[in-house]
Amino acid sequence: MGSLALLAVSSVLAIAIGDTIFFESAQRIGLGRAMTISMSYPMVAASLAALLIGERLTAPIVLGGLLTLAGLVLIVTARGEAPGEPRAWRGVVEALLAALAWGVSVVALRVPLDEIDAVSAQAIRLPVGALILWVTPWALRGVPALVRGGWPLFWRLVALACVTAISAVMYGASVKYAGVAVATVLSSTAPLFAVPLGIVFLGERLPALALIGTAMTVRGIIVLRL
């Protein structure tokens, strides 16, 4: 029963609270700044894991994590997202709260993974998160748009749901077998893949700062696994 409760708490913190607050932050201060601030969540998660569940923070994990996150900051900054208002402190606070929610969520997820496998854990977390989101008014407002989109939109959402399910299971497996610190740092490398995909499919240009950030991120991952 305790594991089920922790899975539910993890789902609420990550999806209903963390993701929602992050989207609000991105609207206020721009996606680039919001992502940069919220990337502090692996450090939150690693610190809590060390304090609460006894995970070891070795020198390679700390150094590799810092290098990886620093490289990701450069990549995100180089993408030139709209910065938003320079004094939008509310957006900054929201991004920090999102990082805190995500950090606590992954620690709550780690404990049940000692008893069940990653597939079972995510099979519980994802429906709980979806149920919570569907009872919110902003989700219900999107139903007419879903109906107007018809079958093309439906199949795109099905494909997205499949990718989300696979990534969630892989993330749970990494938390279970690699530990909170390593899993959260590696999972935060999404911008490292988003930049080249943007070049190929969206015609975006890769700034020199992003190249430096990419090299730093790869270096951090190498150190992380020493």
Q: Given pLDDT bands bounded at 50, 70 and 90, which one contains residue 170?
A: very high
State the alpha helices, DSSP H only, in the chain.
2-11, 20-29, 31-38, 41-52, 59-78, 89-110, 118-134, 137-140, 143-178, 180-187, 190-202, 208-224
| Number of domains into which the chain is organized | 1
pTM beyond 0.85: the answer is: no
Which of 43, 31, 72, 36 minimizes the C-alpha distance to 190?
72
Domain boundaries, position 56: 2-224
> pLDDT of 64-120, one tens digit each?
888 888 887 777 666 555 444 545 678 888 988 999 999 999 999 998 998 889 998
User: How high is the pLDDT of residue 97?
Assistant: 93
225 pLDDT exceeds 70?
no
Question: What are the structure tokens assigned to 22, written together?
Answer: 């992050």
Distance CA 44, CA 42 (A): 5
Which of 107, 110, 104 minimizes the C-alpha distance to 177?
110
Q: Check if the beta carbon of residue 97 is closer than 8 Å to that of residue 21.
A: yes
User: How high is the pLDDT of residue 181?
Assistant: 86
Which DSSP category does 1 fall into?
-
